[in-house]
Amino acid sequence: MSDAPAVEVRGLVKSYGQVEAVRGIDFEVRPGETFGFLGPNGAGKSTTIKILCTLVNPTAGAARVAGFDVVKKRDLVRQNIGLVFQDTTLDNYLTGEQNLRFHADLYGVPRTQVAPRLKQVLDMVDLWDRRGSVVGTYSGGMKRRLEIARGLLHAPRVLFLDEPTVGLDPQTRSGIWAYINDLKQREDITIFLTTHYMDEAENCDRIAIVDHGKIVVLDTPEALKASVGKDRVQITTADDQTAIAELKSLFGIDDAAVREHQVTFSVTDGEQFVPRLFAELTVPIRSVSVARPSLDDVFMSYTGKTIRDAEASAGDRGRAQMMAFRGGGRR
Amino acid sequence: MATQVTSETADSIADLIRVSVPQRSLGRDLRAVSIVWRRELLRFQADRLRIVSALVQPVLFLLVLGTGLSRLAGRGMPPGLSFSTFIYPGVLSMSVLFTALFSAGSIVWDREFGFLREMLVAPVSRAALVIGKCLGGATVATFQGLVILALAGLVHVPYNPVMFLEVIGELLLLSFTLTAFGVMIAARITQMQAFMALNQMMVMPLFFLSGALYPLNGLPTWLTIVTRFDPLTYVVGPMRHAVFSHLGLSPAAAAATAALDPGVTWGGWKVPDGLSLGLVAVLGVLLLGLAIAEFRKTD
């Protein structure tokens, strides 16, 4: 049983009229894994999650979650998954505890287990003391934590987190990640999450980078970073254009370009390259920074753009998709 | 990749679990009905302002309009019967009208604030969710009616337990049908403003055409016909009958009062109270079915 994939996706396609949100995706998530979908807004992450959670039917292809087909065994899939949506789905007029009890009854948590389970999940997210307060009085981070607790209440085998920390301040974000990592210690659970934060993707065992509805590359964060291989060097100079020209003529570096007001390029061994740079470049250098490859560089090397650029260009597609969602009716 | 093999493994797991856990048991669905129902009560309880504000209009009708108009209408009233007493059953049905529709409207809020999604992804049948919602709306609306019922003494209606039971039953029936109607409408509406506007558009015609404020006999033909299409008519009639038969009037006054309590007639044939209420019940079940179908569609 533990060998069967927690999530299995084959040739998944979803189109909304003319718009193809997901264009043929294949992957497997192993039980116990934290698996991340990383990509700009409008890349098809949320659509994929909606299909896996039985909220949307695929146009083509198939998907299984916890061993059940998401179209044919909808109820069994729902029984086995926990869901934390991008936007909150709590009842603001009920207390935290009432929200969780509602969920427990709806998901058929055995009555004798409700109270201990409630305590367990509320303790985990540090909300036990606030369980009697009306959710409307909670902060954004507390609501998110309550939703994570709720998603876990019925002991799901797969937890889906759709942009779990979007719109939260950095402190709350890292707090939520601490809970998620803690969760993996305590519960036998597979986590599937989407994010467009690079630093968050680092928490995953494996990442699939998605762009334009397709998986561009899928591997562990370390392997992905190693595949880029090069360090990123950023310099500010008195004359960027001359610097770029000289980097090409003197060192044969042809990927140098101005990004975010700095000349950015990659070399195999950044720290040893810097002394040569000072010795040979004729343009005065004002500052230098060398960085090990980040997932940003990985994204860049596979898609040819930064994730922020990708979001800007995906904006229109995203909007078209939103229209299609609204037109598609209620959910 | 060993796709074939993994699919088979997954199938065998599916079989195992399907055998041990019944996919959908009646008990599970009843538990869902119960929690959705309880949530309505909790929210109603928490919202004191709503309870008070929903009281304002009926009380206004009963005490202010009733007292004021009795100076005009008093001449048409038999001795011992005030105009306020006459409109009392109508005002009772009005109080549940507002609350039932408002309760159904909370589905639109739930959609706007995302909570509806939490319900719709749950592994329970949509029917359970809709039934729970309608029962919740009916209970809450009947509570609201009880408050008006408590005011019976103010309009010279005796606190008679038999009458109370009859009226409460009728209020429950009416509010269930109204909530089912509201839920069916709310399933299609995504904005609260739109639902409110629609509500405004429906409430007054339903109320005015029901015979809540005037007897349904001797009306012009067109109005007679229109009033027979208002479901509220079929509750106000029996409810007025229930109230009037417990007023303890003198035989002479009772005979005169009978003219003001003609019941519902179809071309001269008086529809029995039982049939009248039965029609409302059938309509309620029909609307409930439509509401469930509407929510199934969102799959």
Please tell me which of the candidates B11, B114, B124 has its beta carbon nearest to residue A106. B124
Q: Which 62-121 residues of chain A touch chain B by CB within 8 A?
A: 64, 67-68, 73, 75-76, 78-79, 83, 85, 87-94, 98, 101-103, 105-108
Cβ burial A247-276 (10 Å sphere, 16+ → b, else e):
beeebebeebeeeeebbbbbbeebeebbee
Please report how the helices B26-46 and B83-112 are oriented relative to each other, as an axis angle in degrees rounded to 10. Answer: 110
**Structural domain boundaries of chain A?**
7-221, 230-292
pLDDT of residue B24: 61
Q: What is the mean pLDDT of residues B126-154?
A: 93
Contact assignment for B10 to A79 by CB distance below 8 Å:
no
| CA separation for the pair A97, A141 (Å, rounded) | 17
What residues of B are in contact with residue A102 (Cβ under 8 Å)? 35, 39
CATH 3.30.70.260 fits A230-292, yes or no: yes
Comparing A154 with A133, which gets the higher pLDDT?
Answer: A133
What's the Rg (C-alpha) of chain A? 23
User: Does residue B209 fall inside a structural domain?
Assistant: yes
What residues of A are in contact with residue B123 (Cβ under 8 Å)? 75-76, 78-79, 106-108
- Cα-Cα-Cα-Cα torsion A132, A135, A137, A140, nearest 10 degrees, comes to 130
Contact assignment for B298 to A106 by CB distance below 8 Å:
no
| Residue A28 touches chain B, beta carbons under 8 Å | yes
pLDDT category at A150 given cuts 50, 70, 90 is very high
pLDDT category at A129 given cuts 50, 70, 90 is very high
A87, with CB counted inside 10 A (0-12, 13-18, 19+), is: exposed
Provide the whole-model pTM.
Answer: 0.78
CA proximity to A87, closest of A325, A328, A296: A325
A·B CB contacts under 8 A: 105
**For an interface test with A, which of B20, B47, B112, B118 has the most A Cβ atoms less than 10 Å from its Cβ?**
B118
| ipTM at complex level | 0.81
pLDDT for residue A313 is more than 80: no
Close Cβ partners of A311 (under 8 Å, ≥ 6 residues apart)? A40, A41, A42, A196
What residues of A are in contact with residue B113 (Cβ under 8 Å)? 88-89, 91-92
- Distance from the Cα of A177 to chain B's closest Cα (Å) equals 23
Close Cβ partners of A161 (under 8 Å, ≥ 6 residues apart)? A84, A148, A151, A180, A191, A192, A193, A194
pLDDT for residue A53 is more than 70: yes
User: Does residue B19 fall inside a structural domain?
Assistant: no
pLDDT digit string (tens) for B69-123?
Answer: 888 876 777 777 888 899 999 999 999 998 899 889 889 988 888 898 889 888 8
pLDDT of residue A266: 81
pLDDT of residue B1: 37
User: Does residue B228 fall inside a structural domain?
Assistant: yes
Q: In 10 A of CB A170, how many CB atoms?
A: 9
pLDDT of residue A241: 87
User: Does residue B255 fall inside a structural domain?
Assistant: yes
| CA separation for the pair A215, B276 (Å, rounded) | 63
Q: Do B28 and B124 meet the contact criterion of CB atoms below 8 Å apart?
A: yes
**What percent of the residues of chain B are helix, what percent strand, and what percent coil, each to the nearest 5?**
75, 0, 20
pLDDT of residue A310: 65
Q: What is the mean pLDDT of chain B?
A: 85
pLDDT of residue B9: 42
- Cα-Cα-Cα-Cα torsion B6, B7, B9, B14, nearest 10 degrees, comes to 140
B67: left (phi over 0), alpha (psi -120 to 50) or beta: alpha
pLDDT for residue A165 is more than 70: yes
pLDDT digit string (tens) for B208-232?
Answer: 999 898 888 888 999 999 999 999 9
Contact assignment for A67 to B14 by CB distance below 8 Å:
yes
User: Does residue B7 fall inside a structural domain?
Assistant: no
CA proximity to B123, closest of B24, B18, B15, B20: B24
Amino acid at B119: M
Please tell me which of the candidates A1, A76, A91 has its beta carbon nearest to residue B23. A76
What residues of A are in contact with residue B39 (Cβ under 8 Å)? 91, 94, 98, 102
Q: What is the mean pLDDT of chain A?
A: 84
Contact assignment for A330 to B111 by CB distance below 8 Å:
yes
- Distance from the Cα of B56 to chain A's closest Cα (Å) equals 23
Please tell me which of the candidates B110, B114, B123 has its beta carbon nearest to residue A75. B123
| Residue A129 touches chain B, beta carbons under 8 Å | no
Token duo for residue A103: 């969920």
User: A177-186, B21-30, B129-138, B235-244: which range is least confident on average?
Assistant: B21-30
User: Does residue B142 fall inside a structural domain?
Assistant: yes
| CA separation for the pair A10, A7 (Å, rounded) | 10
Q: Which CATH architecture has domain A7-221?
A: 3-Layer(aba) Sandwich (3.40)
Q: In 10 A of CB A167, how many CB atoms?
A: 11
Beta strands in chain A (DSSP E): 7-16, 19-29, 34-38, 60-65, 68-69, 81-84, 158-162, 190-195, 206-211, 214-219, 231-237, 257-259, 262-267, 285-291
User: A61-70, A239-248, A263-272, B196-205: which range is least confident on average?
Assistant: A263-272
What residues of B are in contact with residue A5 (Cβ under 8 Å)? 6, 10
What residues of B are in contact with residue A76 (Cβ under 8 Å)? 14, 17-18, 23, 123
Comparing B289 with A317, which gets the higher pLDDT?
Answer: B289
pLDDT of residue A308: 66
What residues of A are in contact with residue B44 (Cβ under 8 Å)? none
User: Does residue B201 fall inside a structural domain?
Assistant: yes
pLDDT of residue A169: 78
What residues of A are in contact with residue B187 (Cβ under 8 Å)? 330
Contact assignment for B7 to A64 by CB distance below 8 Å:
yes
The DSSP result for B140-176, as a single string, is HHHHHHHHHHHTGGGGT----HHHHHHHHHHHHHHHH
Q: What is the mean pLDDT of residues A141-167?
A: 88
- Domain of B189 in residue numbering reads as 28-297
pLDDT for residue A65 is more than 90: yes
Most confident of A167-171, A285-289, B279-283: B279-283
Distance from the Cα of residue B297 to its chain's centroid? 24
What residues of B are in contact with residue A331 (Cβ under 8 Å)? 117, 120, 298
Sign of the C-alpha dihedral computed for residues B237, B243, B245 and B249 taken in this order: negative
Token duo for residue B147: 């408050």
pLDDT of residue A125: 84
In this structure, what are the phi and psi dihedrals at residue A134, rounded to the nearest 5 degrees? -65, 135
User: Does residue B16 fall inside a structural domain?
Assistant: no
Q: What is the mean pLDDT of residues B266-279?
A: 90
Q: Do A85 and B114 meet the contact criterion of CB atoms below 8 Å apart?
A: yes
pLDDT for residue B182 is more than 80: yes
pLDDT of residue A168: 75
The number of distinct structural domains making up chain B is 1
By DSSP bridging, strand A34-38 and strand A60-65 are: unpaired
Most confident of A227-241, B42-56, B84-98: B84-98
CA proximity to B231, closest of B155, B290, B284: B284
| CA separation for the pair A20, A12 (Å, rounded) | 11
Comparing A9 with A86, which gets the higher pLDDT?
Answer: A9
Angle at A136 between CA A132 and CA A139, to 5 degrees: 95
pLDDT digit string (tens) for A29-49?
Answer: 999 999 999 888 778 888 899
Chain position carrying tokens 């995953």: A204
